[in-house]
Amino acid sequence: VDGMVRHDWTAGTVLALLRLPLLELIGRANAVRRARFPDDALRRAALLSVKTGGCSEDCAYCAQSARHESVDLTPTRLMDPDSVIAAAEEAKARGADRFCMSAAWSRARDGKPFEAVLAMVRGVTALGLEACVTLGALTPDQARRLAEAGLHTYNHNLDTGPDHYPKIVSTRTYQDRLATLAVARAAGLRLCCGGIVGLGENLADRAAFLATLGALDPHPENVPVNLLVPIPGTPLAARPPPDPLEAVRVIAAARLVLPASDIRLSAGRATLSREAQILCLLAGANGVFLGERLLTAPNAGEEADAALLAALT
C-alpha cells in the first residue's frame, strides 16, 4: 500500500518502481506526498560551508577534495562561531527553517575545532532553527556531544548504490558510511542522507541506493536528492549533467520508499527550469535549499527562489 512506512525494501522492488511509466510513478508519489504533507508547505534550508576544501577523501564529484589538484579552490580554515551564527540569523530572515553547516573533513576533529562546532550548534539552535552539521565520520562520544548541544540532524550521504560507490570514492567504504549513520542514530540524532543523480550510475544502482535507505529503521528523516554539477578539475568534470526527468523519477521513487521523510531537491536545482523544479515537487520533493551557493556549486539564488515560491502560490 503506497504511503505505508516499511523497511523490507529490496533493490528489486525499488527497481520495479523506477521502471513504472513516468506519469503513473509521479501520480502515485504525488498522492503519498499530499497524504503525508497535506499543507504543501515547502521546507527551506540554508547551507553554509564552515570549512571549505582541503579534504583528504577523494569523492570524484567534489571540488573540496585535496586530491583533485586542478580544481580552482582555495581551502579555508574553520569559521568562527559568531560569523556562522550571524549567517544563520540572515538565513532565518530569508525564510530558512533549517541551517546546515558543512565542514570538509573526512572525520570530525576533536579539540578546539569540535568545541567551535558545538558552539555553532548551540548558537543556531538558540535562534529557533533546526541545526544540521556534516563533519564526516563520528565517534560515539562526538555524536553524543553534538546531541547534547542540541543538534537536530546529522548529514552523512551515501551518494549512490553500494556497487557503484567504489567507482566514485576509493578512500572509504559504503560500510564506513553506514557505520557512521548508525553512530549518529544511536546518539539520538535525526539523519539526513542523500544521493546524487548523474554519477554514471545505472537504474539498478539508483534502486540499490533507495533500497538501502528504505531498509534503515527508522528511515532517514531527510533525503537530499542532488543532480551532479560537473565541476572543472574533478574526475567527473566531463560528465554531462543528468536529464532532469531522471531526477524526477528518483524523487518519485524516493517518496514511495520513504513516505514520511523530507525529500529535498538539492544541488543542481540551478540547472533546472522553474517548471522542472515544480515537476520535482509534484513527484514528491517537499524541500529545497535557499541561497546563491551550495558549498562550491551555484544554487538557484534569491530571485529564482522567489519566482519558484510565487509560482507555487
Residues found near ligand SF4 in the complex (CB under 6 A)? 55, 57, 59, 62, 64-65, 104, 106, 136
Instruction: Give least dist CB 104 to ligand SF4, A.
Output: 4
Going by C-alpha positions, the residue among 194, 201, 251 that lies closest to residue 18 is: 251
- Decide whether 11 or 295 has the Cβ nearer to ligand SF4: 295
In the residue annotation, 193 being an active-site residue is answered as no
User: Hey, what's the cell of 306?
Assistant: 522567489
In the residue annotation, 132 being an active-site residue is answered as yes
- Decide whether 60 or 143 has the Cβ nearer to ligand SF4: 60
Beta bridge partners of 196: 226
- Torsional sign, CA 163, 164, 167, 170: negative
List the catalytic residue out of 28, 62, 190, 255. Answer: 62
List the catalytic residue out of 28, 98, 264, 269. Answer: 264
Instruction: Give least dist CB 264 to ligand SF4, A.
Output: 17
Going by C-alpha positions, the residue among 295, 306, 302 that lies closest to residue 55 is: 295
Instruction: Give least dist CB 64 to ligand SF4, A.
Output: 4
In the residue annotation, 280 being an active-site residue is answered as no
- Decide whether 59 or 216 has the Cβ nearer to ligand SF4: 59
Amino acid at 61: Y
**Helix, strand, coil percent values for the chain (each to nearest 5):** 40, 15, 45
In the residue annotation, 98 being an active-site residue is answered as no
Instruction: Give least dist CB 229 to ligand SF4, A.
Output: 12
3-state secondary structure of 108: coil
CA distance 213 to 225: 12
**Which residues are marked as active site?**
55, 59, 62, 100, 132, 192, 264
